[in-house]
A and B are shown apart, each in its own frame.
Chain A
Amino acid sequence: MTFFIEVVAGGLLAGVMYALVALGFVLIYKASGVFNFAQGSMVFFAALTFVSLLERGWNLWLALAVTLAAMVVLGMLTERIVLRPLINQPPITLFMATIGLTFVLEGLSQLLWGSQPHGLELGIPDVPIEWLSEKANINISQFDLFAALVAGVLVAVLALLFQKTRIGRALRAVADDHQAALAVGIPLQHIWTIVWAVAGFVALVAGVMWGVRNGVQYALTFTALKALPVLILGGFESIAGAIIGGLIIGASEKVAEVYLGPYVGGGIESWFAYVVALLFLLVRPEGLFGEKHIDRV
């Protein structure tokens, strides 16, 4: 039983890591209706910039601030160069443009900082919490708990931003209908810049967390693929969905890997999350918390 709890807890905490990446997707989708495939490479770009600055002897906070500034500039450039000329194009065109952006970002970050993997240390050791392993014989990493905490704070802040502020309201209006939002005088360009900057910030947080766990390397770009099932399970438009989807995917993936994996030859983590998400979709086509779409002719 303790083993089962340990597996589930480990899965839930891994799910938080997925959710961190998924949040970035949700933000941009919610506010601009763009399915931003470049989120994974934004995570990579942010983490690589951050770790490279640290390795050049920069102060932690200074490096964080500079990376954040870089992400904001990146968001502004994306808005100006990629999104603004594509206003009112069908969603698939915007999606393709973000795939193009993925190539640019991956090339750019490796051009700037080289392609060798880096280690990243934040001073929070990735070791089991002592009193928990002594009392209940359950091993849960300190760092995982820290990541969960960060994710929690992030979600709370974003939820406040979306629900309680003027900007949040404008964001939701833009997500609903570009043209209508423009017509009532919402500055579309500003809104998109803000959203991409915030998504850049989320990417930075996700990148740092994943970087500590797995090292900062090219494989970080694949975190996007891990986040996609979380995303469709939770619903594209829901921040809470991203978190809960992450938890469900993380836990079920771990449980399946431990209990089902040996029977089918292992390696099922590459697709299991997708199948879980797919089964959910068959019951609820817009994800757990996605907005229901009513089709009209």
Chain B
Amino acid sequence: MLYREAGQFRSTYAEDQQIFPIRQDRIAMALLLLVAFVAVPLFGDQYWLSAIITPFLIFALATLGLNILTGYAGQLSLGTAAFMGIGAFMAYNAMLRIPHMPIVGAFIVGGLCAAAVGVVFGLPSLRIKGFYLAVATLACQFFVLWALNRVGWFSNYSSSGVITAQRMDVFGYPVDTPATKYLLTLAVVALMALAAKNLMRSETGRAFMAIRDMDVAASVIGIPMMKTKLLAFAISSFYCGVAGALYAFSYLGTVEPEAFVLDLSFRVLFMMIIGGAGSILGSFLGAGFITLFPIFLNLASKRLENALGMEIPHALISNTEAIIFGALIIFFLIVEPYGLARLWQITKEKLRLWPFPH
């Protein structure tokens, strides 16, 4: 009843091609942005802002990056954490070595460096495909992490390997409280998500999808294979790099190689799969799910402890959590291989007919 597009006529090309052609979607999106930009920082709890919502946004950005490469362009990558690491370390170095570097500029430098590395490690994708490529991107993961650990220049020859990220300033305003850090992250993520959404509706995005669906056919119809694949690697790594810089600067507060181990790559991959490969919305849904799920499990085990009146050993809890997490992923893949984004699509279809389905 509420979600019905009857009577909404599009009379110009611009109207026909807008991102949200349905009025209700536009209103919902505006409301969502309003809540995210105004209500959340005003009324949000400090803990929630700094420990849950901010990392959720950062992971959503990283997932978006991976989604561009794997979900849209079909090149499976396990090197996400490495690209994030490069972004973080290069943003740190940009702040350190270039005087008067604005923080957003440092993020961009981090992203661009990650993109350059992404292009280099994307080169094998011209020759190899599928799981061979996935293993090749693992090479990137291990090599980059090794370099960040061993080459002193990255960490400014710090002896501990753990560096405190610099203070952030935007136009002279200090960004140091959870609320301001959240706002900065949100602004970056929102802009980049918008850019990604538009990019995927463009010729480039369609070329990516053609390569994903069948690369031989794509090259036959004249899509330049090398340029497009490398572009996918570059854009994806740029997103991951910026996400990594945000991860270090506005969530961890430190820059360290240990934050960007292989586990992080897998986490982001899970987010993409659970959210839905090849969907911008899915990146956010998946990131939200994977970020919130351990917290929910934790609360549940606390509740259980109280109900039983005894303390459950820590190892038992963490192992059970791992089992439930793994089982849930398998469950999701079986029940809904196209992810949460597909569930949302089905819901929308149902809503259009509700309450009078034929």
Contact = CB atoms under 8 A, between A and B. Distances in A.
A105 B130 CA distance: 25
B150 A228 contact: no
Interface in B29-45: none
A275 B333 contact: no
B119 to A, nearest CB: 15
Contact of B124 (A95, A103, A282): A282
Given A103-B326, A111-B323, A274 B333 contact: no
Interface string B314-343: 011001111101111110011001000000
Nearest to B123: A282
Contacts of B334: 82, 85-86, 97
B146 A99 contact: no
Contacts of A296: 216
Interface stretch (A154-162, A181-189, A260-268): A260-268
Interface stretch (A53-61, A229-237, A246-254): A229-237
A104 B143 contact: no
Given A103-B325, A297-B220, A267 B320 contact: no
Interface residues of B, number: 46
A100 B315 contact: no
Given A104-B323, A297-B220, A274 B132 contact: no
Nearest to B332: A100
Interface string A254-297: 00000000001111101100110110011001110000000111
A35 B134 CA distance: 11
B136 interface: yes
B326 A100 contact: yes
B326 A274 contact: no
Given A100-B330, A231-B135, A107 B319 contact: yes
Scoring B124, B129, B138, B330 by chain A CB atoms within 10 A of each residue's CB, the highest score goes to B330
B142 A274 contact: yes
Contacts of B145: 270
B135 A100 contact: no
Nearest to B131: A35
A268 B146 contact: yes
Nearest to A102: B326
B333 A93 contact: yes
Given A111-B319, A231-B135, A296-B216, A104 B150 contact: no
Contacts of A271: 139, 142-143, 146
Contacts of A281: 124, 127-128, 132, 136
Contacts of B325: 100, 103
A264 B329 contact: no
A97 B330 contact: yes
B139 A277 contact: yes
B326 A95 contact: no
B315 A114 contact: yes
A275 B319 contact: no
Contact of B136 (A86, A89, A278): A278
Interface string A88-116: 01011101110111111111101100110
A229 B137 CA distance: 11
B292 interface: no
A100 B329 contact: yes
B330 A115 contact: no
Scoring A92, A95, A266 by chain B CB atoms within 10 A of each residue's CB, the highest score goes to A92
A277 B270 CA distance: 26
A100 to B, nearest CB: 3
A265 B150 contact: yes
B101 interface: no
A97 B333 contact: yes
Contacts of A295: 215-216
Interface in B260-295: 262, 266, 269-270, 273, 277
5 nearest interchain CB pairs?
Answer: A103-B326, A274-B139, A107-B322, A100-B329, A104-B326
Given A81-B330, A96-B270, A281-B124, 11 more contacts: A100-B325, A100-B328, A102-B326, A104-B330, A264-B150, A274-B136, A282-B124, A286-B132, A287-B132, A296-B216, A297-B214
Interface of B: 76, 124, 127-132, 134-136, 138-139, 142-143, 145-146, 149-150, 214-217, 220, 262, 266, 269-270, 273, 277, 315-316, 319-323, 325-330, 333-334, 337
